[in-house]
Amino acid sequence: MFPTDHERYSADQDPTGPPVPGVPTESELAARYWDRIRLFATRRVNDASLAEDIAQETLRRVIEALRAGRVQNTDAIAGFVFQTAKHVCMHAHRSAGREARAMRRLHDPSDADVVGPDALTHLVSEERRRRVRTALETLSPEDRDLLHAVYFAQLDTAELAAKLGLSPGALRVRKHRAVQRLAAALGARQTDETLSGDRELNE
């Protein structure tokens, strides 16, 4: 059910036919949903490589459905991608994909597992980690430690706010600004606009 290496998407290969006007292109869909699907899938299958296969299969199905006109409301694409990813994930557990991967690893040991218990963090490349560490060093110690406390030491804002003598709301503002500053320091992936509190909330 999963595409082989030869069937994987690339810039000059389109297994699903030419673009259709009004329908997001493959690259647009991949730019928007690739990492979301990988994270979604990794949490379920605990395997970064299998999660990539799931992301590819999901995008392939979504593009096929869009081009076949099976998704009439393009505003609902996010929901359609989510449901497709969920469906593909469920089947991945039962498919031969895992077995095939084990066989590939047997023949190519460099096709390796990730090391460590937290598969989600292995979605972040070592190069990206270096950039993040560099960006974190540009933040104030207060911002840096707050982000560590929230995302790494897993202290929730209510607990942290009480320890710091702040209201939960004030701490949320501090966290939000720290996230903004880190995103700005990282530059490319997040922008102030996408993280801005001025942006209309998705209610």
What residues numbered 47-86 form the site for other proteins, per CB under 8 A?
Answer: 78-79, 81-82, 86
Residue 34, amino acid: W
**By the rule CB under 8 A, 153 interacts with other proteins:** yes
Cβ at position 124, least distance to other proteins in Å: 4
Q: How far is the CB of 18 from other proteins (least distance, A)?
A: 26
Residues from 120 through 149 that contact other proteins (CB under 8 A) = 120-124, 126-130, 132-133, 136, 140-142, 145-149
- Footprint of other proteins on residues 5-44 (CB under 8 A)? 33, 35-36, 39-40, 43
Judged by CB under 8 A, which of 5, 12, 99, 118 binds other proteins? 118
Structure tokens at 30: 């991949």
- Residue 10 φ then ψ, to 5°: -150, 175
Torsion sign over Cα 103, 106, 111, 116: positive
> Rounded to whole angstroms, how far apart are CA atoms 129 and 136?
10
By CB under 8 A, tell whether 101 contacts other proteins: no
Whether 148 contacts 132, CB under 8 Å: no
Residue 95 or residue 190: which is nearer to other proteins going by CB?
190
**Angle between helices 48-67 and 77-94 in degrees, nearest 10:** 130
